């Protein structure tokens, strides 16, 4: 199992692993916050930087993935902080009517996915639950019912996305834990894995002497 950490904004941690011969990656991030016009572009930039800068390092794991997209099945989760482009009162009205489809039409992440400006090629399950942010602590009330105390427009800040073939989502919902101003989301996936793949075995056997020597040089430099 390999780890990668990035802390240039709110934070990101990635875990690389293999189940039999299938490479799987889990990413947990806290993207840039804010509900001003254009803040979604900052979050898009965060995603781009995570994909560009995340590296998995190992001195002995020849042929293992170095980047996120080197994996075959990927799950990305966390407080992605994308908001809903509607006024506070309108969002609250649609929530009271459970008109999720009208809220989804103005959801920033859904829009960015459709435009291909962020998470290109990724997918998400249906949002058949109320927005997960922002709540008063230990309460069923959204923050901001008293305008004098400040307001945050409710949004689906907490998300789970997937990338790659062989993943099928079985469940996607929010959990009613009241320990913070967010409601966490959970998902269950069924993942296909390869127990034995002749092509991957042959690729490992065909690893050139130069590539192996390069791994050894890196190991010697770091050890020194």
pLDDT tens-digit readout, 101-126: 999 999 999 999 999 999 999 999 99
CA distance 82 to 7: 19
Q: Enumerate residues 6+ apart whose C-beta is below 8 A from 125.
A: 160, 169, 172, 187
Domains of the chain, each with CATH number or no CATH:
2-198 (3.60.10.10)
**H or E stretch including 89?**
helix 88-96
CB 189 within 8 A of CB 24: no
pLDDT tens-digit readout, 134-152: 999 898 999 877 777 678 8
Percent of the chain with pLDDT over 70: 79
pTM of the model: 0.83
Low-confidence ranges of the chain (pLDDT < 50): 208-210, 212, 215-224
């Amino acid at each position: 199992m390999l780890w990668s950490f990035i802390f240039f904004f709110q934070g990101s941690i990635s875990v690389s692993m293999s189940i039999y011969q299938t490479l799987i990656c889990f990413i947990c991030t806290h993207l840039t916050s804010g509900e001003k016009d254009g803040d979604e572009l900052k979050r898009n930039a965060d995603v781009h930087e995570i994909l560009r800068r995340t590296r998995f390092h190992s001195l002995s794991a020849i042929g293992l993935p170095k980047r996120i997209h080197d994996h075959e099945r990927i799950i990305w989760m966390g407080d992605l902080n994308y908001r809903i482009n509607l006024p506070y009162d309108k969002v609250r009205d649609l929530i009271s009517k459970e008109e999720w489809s009208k809220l989804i039409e103005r959801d920033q992440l859904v829009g960015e996915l459709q435009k291909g400006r962020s998470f290109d090629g990724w997918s998400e399950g249906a949002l058949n639950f109320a927005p997960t942010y922002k709540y008063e602590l230990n309460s069923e009330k959204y923050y901001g019912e008293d305008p004098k105390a400040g307001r945050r427009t409710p949004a689906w800040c907490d998300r789970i996305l997937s990338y790659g073939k062989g993943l099928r989502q079985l469940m996607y919902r929010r959990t009613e834990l009241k320990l913070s101003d967010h409601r966490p989301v959970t998902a269950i996936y069924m993942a296909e894995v390869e127990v034995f793949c002749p092509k991957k075995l042959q690729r490992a056997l065909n690893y050139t002497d130069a590539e192996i020597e390069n791994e050894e040089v890196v190991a010697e430099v770091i050890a020194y």
